[in-house]
Amino acid sequence: MTQLSPSSQGSGSNYDVVCFSHLRWDFVFQRPQHLMSRFARAHRVFVIEEPIFDGTTDHIEVVGSGNNVYRLIPHLTENGSSANYRIKPLLTDKLSDLGVGKYINWFYTPMMLDLASGMQPLATVYDVMDELSAFRGAPPELLANESRLYERADLVFTGGQSLYEAKKGRHASVHAFPSSVDVTHFAKARQVTEDAELQKDIPHKRIGFVGVIDERMDLELLADLAGLKPDWQFIMIGPVVKISENDLPRRYNIHYLGMQSYDDLPQFLAGWDAAMMPFALNESTKFISPTKTPEYLAAGLGVVSTAITDVVTPYGEMGLVHIAGTAAEFVRGLEAAMNEDAAARTVKVSEFLKENSWDKTFQAMSDLIDGAIAARSGVPGREDDAEAGVQTRGQELLLAAV
């Protein structure tokens, strides 16, 4: 049985965090993991995951993931449209058993909204990480559920500036928090001397990508790059999701290394000559703010990307990332990236990224949450103080680009 830490039953900012997520905790380490791990330094965090249809009876499994984070995984006997209806009473009982009394609700997906019916959180946060309605296989009811979530939320955070522009008219308190970075973690790549075992036999020049490989990837562009530069090696790290393995271009100089742990990524990046983001330009990428952009830069790599809005501004406009459209432009960008003055780039990157940490993003979010809780409890002045003290991260980044 999982051993839990004491419940958060104090006053003020002492509360549990109930996070409703469409991404499993042990999937790619990204925005939810960064933020919830930081919440867990002072709060218990309960991550409600999507159901697994493998149970002999309906039940919720509690799995401790270390450092005050607990996964609540519903196991149901069969698939069906009644999943949320069946999970709701199980979740209510489980949260009660775990001593969850004072808490905030944090949503990454509107599709779990019904699980929170009847709950009385101190505040509700909707962290819009992506435009999920534009993803392949999005449920038709997602947009209606999102409208309901806007009505319930006290705060709306967006994972990028373009998402902020799209959502700012939907709610009275929307704040842009673009992808941040753990600079210390990825800067380790600059000191690594031993190559990662999986890529040590791959010759240079190595061009790498790390992230989910799905419908957002321009596979035709990847194939064209491999064809144009047969003496370069293209390394793809990450799980293949929602597309068939058969759709992946197969060339002797394209290497699919699968999902690797977050802790090991600096060692992989240390062995690359440049990094790439060959995203397709389609509905599913219209509002993305790739976390990997600042991670590549912190690792000391030159970067080339297609014209993703939140990469062009501010990274492309500041000369931190090369922007390319065609395969030929991509090749020229990669050549330029590999020929850059690495020391000069590091100085420029360091100056930019010092204001772009997950710790600062988390603190700004926490201040807003404290203000929302205080406003609900009728404490005069606290909401205004929190709003005045938090400038959106998107505004900070745009100012940094001037």
158-196 pLDDT, tens digit per residue, is 999 999 999 999 999 999 999 899 999 999 999 998 999
Distance CA 322, CA 332 (A): 9
DSSP 281: -
Give 227-263 as a DSSP string.
Answer: HH-TTSEEEEES-B-SS-GGGS---TTEEEEE---GG
Q: What is the pLDDT of residue 203?
A: 98
- What pLDDT, on the 0 to 100 scale, is given for residue 7? 55
CB 75 within 8 Å of CB 90: no
Provide CB contacts within 8 A for 385, sequence distance 6+.
371
Q: Packing angle between helix 31-39 and helix 358-377, nearest 10 degrees?
A: 60
Q: In a 3-state reduction of DSSP, which class is residue 118?
A: coil
Q: What is the pLDDT of residue 130?
A: 83
- pTM for the model stands at 0.88
The span from the CA of 343 to the CA of 252, in Å, is: 33
User: What's the pLDDT at 5?
Assistant: 62
Q: What is the DSSP letter of 137?
A: T
Question: Which residues, 6+ apart, have CB-to-CB distance to 83 below 8 Å?
Answer: 51, 74, 76
What are the beta bridge partners of residue 220?
none
Residue 314: which of 390, 391, 399 has the closest Cα? Answer: 399
270 close to 298: Cβ distance less than 8 angstroms: no
Q: Compute CA distances 3 → 43, 66, 71, 101, 212, whole Å.
A: 15, 10, 12, 18, 32
Report the chain's C-alpha Rg in angstroms.
Answer: 22
DSSP-assigned beta bridge partners for residue 20:
48, 107
Q: CATH number of 183-351: 3.30.450.20, 3.40.640.10, 3.40.50.2000, 2.60.40.1180? A: 3.40.50.2000
Decide if 270 contacts 299 (C-beta within 8 A): yes
Three-class DSSP category at 401: helix
Domain boundaries, the chain: 16-176, 183-351, 358-401
Are 38 and 362 within 8 A, CB to CB?
yes
> What is the dotted CATH code of the domain comprising 16-176?
3.40.50.2000
- Which of 372, 281, 287, 365 lies closest to 323 in space, CA to CA? 281
Question: What proportion of the chain, given as a percentage, has pLDDT over 70?
Answer: 90
pLDDT 10s digits, 330-360: 999 999 999 999 999 999 999 999 888 999 9
The amino acid sitting at 22 is H
Q: Report pLDDT for 102.
A: 96
Q: What element of type H or E holds 176?
A: strand 174-176
Considering only CA atoms, which of 346, 315, 347 is closest in space to residue 333? 315
For residue 349, give the 3-state DSSP assignment.
Answer: helix
Q: What is the pLDDT of residue 4?
A: 64
For tokens 């522009």, the residue is: 165
Q: What is d(CA 1, CA 9) in angstroms, rounded to the nearest whole number? A: 23
Tell me, what DSSP letter sits at residue 357?
B
Beta-carbon contacts of residue 102 (< 8 Å; ≥ 6 apart)? 8, 9, 14, 15, 16, 122
Residues of the chain with pLDDT under 70: 1-13, 79-81, 379-402
The two domains 16-176 and 183-351 share their CATH topology (first three levels equal)? yes
Burial of 93 per CB tally in 10 Å (0-12, 13-18, 19+): exposed
Rounded to whole angstroms, how far apart are CA atoms 256 and 51?
A: 29
